[in-house]
Structure 1
Amino acid sequence: MDKLDAVLARIDANADAALERLFAVLRIRSISTDPAFAADCKACADWHAADLASIGFEASARPTAGHPIVVAHDRSATGPSALFYGHYDVQPVDPLDLWDHDPFEPKIETRPDGSKVIRARGAADDKGQLMTFVEACRAWKEVAGALPVPITILLEGEEESGGANLPGFLEANAAELKADIGLICDTNMWDAATPAITTMLRGLVGEEIIVTAADRDLHSGFYGSAATNPNHVVARILADLRDADGRVTLPGFYDGVPELDPALKKQWDALPFDPKHFLGAVGLSVPAGEKGRSVLEMTWSRPTCEVNGMGGGYQGDGFKTVIPSKASAKISFRLVFDQDPHKVREAFRAFVRARIPADCKVEFLEHGAGRAIRFPIEDPAFQKARQALTDEWGREAFFIGGGGSIPVTHMLKTSLGMDVILAGFGLEDDRIHSPNEKYDLQSFRKGMRSWARILAALAS
């Protein structure tokens, strides 16, 4: 404990220097999806490799068919080993005119309530988050001369552009990267004062359908009612996907969907969450979805079917009396453990085909698939991390669910066989992927201290 206290004191004393290092990496325009910034992505990978080497890691930026992946090891300690994952690439900044300043010139902004935030692209997603872990390692090395546990750091450069090269890299280097526990800092707290560990994330199936009827657009006066209107076909398909109680009607859709663990449900029921406020913040008031389920259950632990886009016929100014030749829709399914995304896709396609008229045809376009994942909250590593967060923030840390997907968690589980502690310090208003992205200065400073505590707890 004496060493931990000294490490925490060092983090506080070096907070300004840590912020300067974060600002240096935030200035690098590591936009992975745009080939024009390939050199910047390499520069960012090289910066991280050099920084980690400067504190005693054996570090290198490994080439891939895309952007480099940084791998760093310090295995001098004994005890359970950890693999930390982060990503150094960022989203494009468009539309630039909605930013209040240069997205790659970070600044500290004081808000009306007196709180301070770091404003820059990548401040929260994920440069600020990953640097909380690196700075915790730096402080441990400076104070104790060694890390509490053996650590490998893996920093990806294509998370924001699909991560095409990561699966192969993990498989090719599995023996080198395998550890006892995974650590990721790319998630949110419950609120600005309450830490959280995300223990379940939903999977995803994305599918697009294009229904074609006549071989050209038709005059609705000449062909109305006589010719099939693909807009009507698509509308019926979409309407049939849910019943009156909000349940998805695909045969077998709920296969593998478990009921929420009672202990976890008790935690969620204790969260200070107001569904009226949650919906009211976006101008709504009536919960949709499955009847008899709470809003948190529906957004964290239940599967969904959502229509993300629809198109067909004339949509310009004015009016055009046309029966379109084609109509389309984009549908996504958020999946929970242990739904099979491939079976869901097959069931959806069979569901659609059964509703296509004999003289029409349907085309399917696949837009990705991934399994949901959940981690055991009873595992000692998770309990230790939870207590460490509680000690730092002075509020009980919660185990929460995540409505979205982080594909790397499933890769680490399947390729490397490890559970993953997802402990992040982002907030809902961080505006990730949007103009004026920010990261609370408190999240950065207490995030460093939190990881120092978690590493000490894992060593115990």
Structure 2
Amino acid sequence: MSGHLDAVLARVDAGLEQSLERLYALLRIKSISTDSAYKAECQRAADWIVGELKGIGFAAEAHATPGHPVVWAKGAAQEGPHVLFYAHYDVQPVDPLNLWRSDPFEPTLATDAHGRKIIVARGASDDKGQMMTFIEACRAWQAVTGSLPVTVSLMLEGEEESGGKNLPPFMEAHKTELGAADIALVCDTDMWNRQTPSITTMLRGMVGEEIEITCADKDLHSGMFGNAARNPNQLLAEIIASLRAPDGRVTLPGFYDDVAEVSPEIKAQWQGLGFDEAAYMAQAGLSIPAGEADRSVLEMLWARPTCEINGMIGGYTGDGFKTVIPAKASAKISFRLVSGMVPEKIRDAFRKHVEAMIPADCSVRFTSHGGAPAITVPSDGTYLQQALRGLSDEWGTPAVITGSGGSIPVAGDFKRILGLDTLLIGFAQIDDAIHSPNEKYDLDSYHRGIRSWVRILAALAV
């Protein structure tokens, strides 16, 4: 297959205009998964994708779920590895509509302030444009050679933007077939910068907890009960303040027991990325990093666990003033986990820590908001090295290995359910405004993303 590489790349270049028209057709479908009013549109998107995949030689079907369909497709068996590609065809709502400069479901090829061509539409970057880079790479291989370099399966989700609760059961139900793959590929991430492609090999996991503290059996007059009655806001503040030490470390017993240090080799790679801590903090209007005092910002984001207070509610929050001691106070708290940490262990440690601080005449109620482990792909893995080589050849600069402070639950599901490692390879840019008005995808990201997948498939076949 490697002997056909130049011809396949030439096919991508020659067919770019037609490829864009196919992308535009998909972008016009209003597949907003979280809004039931668009259920038919999500089905239409799934059916459209099935039709395109069948047209390039895949056996494809839109599988019904209690929510929106999962598109599952498989190409002809080939020698070499079997890859399972994942992306999602659903999109976020477009609100506020008045901030869009054009119809969010009528894709526009525009020019940005830097003279770059951009595709503007809801889903252009997250994730329809990214998904189509892979499908179009498969199309080019089929057109030139009549086959693909490796065995390819696709699993395309319709509920990623609304929780994705029906995908794990689908994976469990089709575990034997899906688990026949050797490696999972996900195109839902970005590049390190516009000149440097990257593969994300570290994703943090997540534990979400909500606590509600109850003290008195009703709201109380603060003049009549002040000092004498326990104030749940005060108690909640004490609990939250106790979660971190002055040096930024999380104080839960055993919190760091399973946290491994990053190897010197990986630290050296990160130091070579030229990450500007000051510029990064300035994006948030800040200048002084918080968190663990002896860690770099990049290390804290990619390789260290965290505890964050996402919301606090208690007492009167309306206009004006009300002198009340509330009966209840609550908070939403999340923990980002790194490889080796067990979500259930962290949840248990947190709950025990809180319970130990609750007075005997008060109570606490816990609500779980899910949990998933972190994932790490071995940096010396064969498939990773092959993919890095394909990316480097396309972009003319060495592709880099990066981490991510966020969580992509499907990557954890691939490991937990199917036993598969995941390569997260995407071509989005930090300024793509995903989930926001005027979402865009660089034309260069789309075009060279297709070319990149062409090269990666060839590299995986070696």
- Distance across 2 between alignment mates of 1:394 and 1:272: 18
SS in structure 2 at match of 1:369: strand
Contact map agreement 1:76 1:146 (CA 8 A) in 2: no
CA shift, 1:77, in A, is: 2.0
Equivalent of residue 316 in structure 1, options 315, 318, 321: 318
Identify the residue that residue 139 of structure 1 maps to in structure 2: 140
Equivalent of residue 201 in structure 2, options 189, 199, 202: 199
- Distance across 2 between alignment mates of 1:7 and 1:163: 35
CA shift, 1:315, in A, is: 1.5
- Distance across 2 between alignment mates of 1:329 and 1:289: 20
> Cα deviation per residue 1:327-379 (whole Å; 9 max; x = unaligned)?
11110000001111111111111111111122111111111111101101101
Identify the residue that residue 343 of structure 1 maps to in structure 2: 345
Identify the residue that residue 186 of structure 1 maps to in structure 2: 188
- Distance across 2 between alignment mates of 1:15 and 1:272: 33
Runs of 4+ in 1 over 2 A off after TM superposition: none
SS in structure 2 at match of 1:210: strand
CA shift, 1:259, in A, is: 0.4
Range moving further from structure 2, 235-244 or 425-434? 425-434
Identify the residue that residue 326 of structure 1 maps to in structure 2: 328
Aligned ranges 1:5-44 → 2 under 5 Å: 5-44=6-45
CA shift, 1:452, in A, is: 0.3
- Distance across 1 between alignment mates of 2:283 and 2:416: 38
SS in structure 2 at match of 1:248: coil
- Distance across 2 between alignment mates of 1:161 and 1:267: 35
Partner AA of 1:84 in structure 2: F
Identify the residue that residue 367 of structure 1 maps to in structure 2: 369
Q: Percent identity?
A: 61
Partner AA of 1:63 in structure 2: A
Identify the residue that residue 75 of structure 1 maps to in structure 2: 76
Identify the residue that residue 61 of structure 1 maps to in structure 2: 62
Partner AA of 2:8 in structure 1: V
- Distance across 2 between alignment mates of 1:65 and 1:229: 44
Identify the residue that residue 355 of structure 1 maps to in structure 2: 357
Partner AA of 2:147 in structure 1: A
CA shift, 1:75, in A, is: 2.4
Identify the residue that residue 242 of structure 2 maps to in structure 1: 240
- Distance across 1 between alignment mates of 2:309 and 2:404: 20
- Distance across 1 between alignment mates of 2:15 and 2:428: 22
SS in structure 1 at match of 2:431: helix
SS in structure 2 at match of 1:429: coil
Identify the residue that residue 150 of structure 1 maps to in structure 2: 151
Identify the residue that residue 98 of structure 2 maps to in structure 1: 97
> Cα deviation per residue 1:285-304 (whole Å; 9 max; x = unaligned)?
11100011110010011000
CA shift, 1:394, in A, is: 1.1
Aligned ranges 1:264-275 → 2 under 5 Å: 264-275=266-277
- Distance across 2 between alignment mates of 1:9 and 1:232: 67
Range moving further from structure 2, 239-248 or 107-116? 107-116
Identify the residue that residue 282 of structure 1 maps to in structure 2: 284
Partner AA of 1:348 in structure 2: F
Partner AA of 1:55 in structure 2: I
CA shift, 1:176, in A, is: 1.5
Identify the residue that residue 439 of structure 1 maps to in structure 2: 441
Contact map agreement 1:125 1:186 (CA 8 A) in 2: yes
Identify the residue that residue 418 of structure 1 maps to in structure 2: 420
Identify the residue that residue 458 of structure 2 maps to in structure 1: 456
Contact map agreement 1:207 1:365 (CA 8 A) in 2: yes
TM-score normalized by the length of structure 1: 0.98
- Distance across 2 between alignment mates of 1:454 and 1:53: 22
Partner AA of 2:92 in structure 1: Q
Contact map agreement 1:31 1:41 (CA 8 A) in 2: yes
Partner AA of 2:48 in structure 1: W
SS in structure 2 at match of 1:446: helix
Partner AA of 2:110 in structure 1: E
TM-score normalized by the length of structure 2: 0.98
SS in structure 2 at match of 1:428: coil
Contact map agreement 1:206 1:368 (CA 8 A) in 2: yes
Identify the residue that residue 49 of structure 2 maps to in structure 1: 48
- Distance across 2 between alignment mates of 1:289 and 1:65: 41
Identify the residue that residue 296 of structure 1 maps to in structure 2: 298
- Distance across 1 between alignment mates of 2:183 and 2:135: 17
Identify the residue that residue 162 of structure 2 maps to in structure 1: 161
SS in structure 2 at match of 1:430: coil
- Distance across 2 between alignment mates of 1:109 and 1:359: 63
CA shift, 1:414, in A, is: 2.1
SS in structure 2 at match of 1:43: helix
Identify the residue that residue 171 of structure 1 maps to in structure 2: 172
- Distance across 1 between alignment mates of 2:370 and 2:194: 33
- Distance across 1 between alignment mates of 2:213 and 2:327: 8
RMSD over aligned Cα, in angstroms? 1.0
Range moving further from structure 2, 272-281 or 70-79? 70-79
